[in-house]
Amino acid sequence: MKVKVIQEHRGEGKFPEFQKGTNVQIIGSECNHYLNWFPCKIENHKTYIPSVFIENEALIRNYNPTELICNVGDILEVKEIFHAWFIAEKSCGITGWIPAEKCISL
Q: What is the pLDDT of residues 7-55, one digit of tens each?
A: 999 998 999 999 999 999 999 999 999 999 999 999 999 999 999 999 9
- How confident is the model at residue 61, as a pLDDT? 98
CATH number at residue 85: 2.30.30.40
- Say yes or no: 101 and 75 in one domain: yes
- How confident is the model at residue 66, as a pLDDT? 98
- SS3 string, the chain, reads CEEEECCCECCCCCCCCECCCCECEECCCCCCCCCCEEEEEECCEEEEEEHHHEECCEECCCECCCECCECCCCEEEEEEEECCEEEEEECCCCEEEEEHHHEEEC
- Say yes or no: 46 and 71 in one domain: no
Q: Write out the H or E segment, with its range, that includes residue 105.
A: strand 103-105
Residue 40: inside a domain: yes
- Please write the tens of the pLDDT for every residue from 67-93: 999 999 999 999 999 999 999 999 999
Q: Can you tell me the distance from the alpha carbon of 76 to that of 91, in angstroms, rounded to the nearest whole number?
A: 7
- How confident is the model at residue 81, as a pLDDT? 97
The domain in which residue 101 lies consists of 2-12+66-105
- Say yes or no: 71 and 89 in one domain: yes
- How confident is the model at residue 71, as a pLDDT? 97
Q: Write out the H or E segment, with its range, that includes residue 39.
A: strand 37-42
Cα 10 to the chain's mean position, in Å? 12
- Please write the tens of the pLDDT for every residue from 2-15: 999 999 999 989 99
Average pLDDT on 97-105 reads 98
